[in-house]
Amino acid sequence: MMESFINRRPVRSECLRCGEIVLSGIAMGLSYRVDPIPLTMEGEIVARLGDRSTWSYLFGQMKHRIEHDVRKTPRSMVVATHKCGSSLIEYFDMTRIHQLNILMIQASRSNEEVDDMVQRATSIIWDALHGKVIDIPDDTVNLPLF
């Protein structure tokens, strides 16, 4: 008989303890609650040393990363289990920003939530750049940010 595993796509919610935005769902029967911060390889190591699980997001689903996976360069965005007060924002992988935006839009339930997410994402990027001012040439002003 074939075993069946429950999968539920990530849905945006807020942590009831600290109020931070988290993504929660079920991957192969394992429930997860992760920070929407794509991690660099260094960030994943820091997360795992801090006793947090890591997950990769590919084709609309989260996949739990086991030790074997961590040794390989990830093909997709890697995020870590949420831990109140322990943001890994300094390990934000800027190359995954587009994938994060798509994920956050898919994980939101309404347009209001999407607007809120865009604002939060902008603030996350701002924090990650340590408030560094970016000079945008005039001819690119009309391009959408995300």
* Residues within the interface to Zn ion (CB under 5 A): 15, 17-18, 84
CB of 24 to Zn ion, least distance (A): 12
**Nearest position to Zn ion, beta carbon:** 15
Kindly state the helix (H) or strand (E) to which residue 107 belongs, with its residue range.
helix 97-107
Nearer to Zn ion, 17 or 75 (CB): 17
Residue 59 is encoded by which pair of tokens?
């084709």
> Hey, which bits of 59-123 come out as E strands?
61-65, 77-80
Nearer to Zn ion, 11 or 84 (CB): 84
CB of 55 to Zn ion, least distance (A): 17
Percentages of the chain per state (helix, strand, coil), in multiples of 5: 35, 25, 40
CB of 13 to Zn ion, least distance (A): 11
CB of 4 to Zn ion, least distance (A): 31
Nearer to Zn ion, 54 or 81 (CB): 81
Rounded CA-CA distance 66/110 in Å is 33
Nearer to Zn ion, 10 or 74 (CB): 10
Rounded CA-CA distance 93/112 in Å is 26
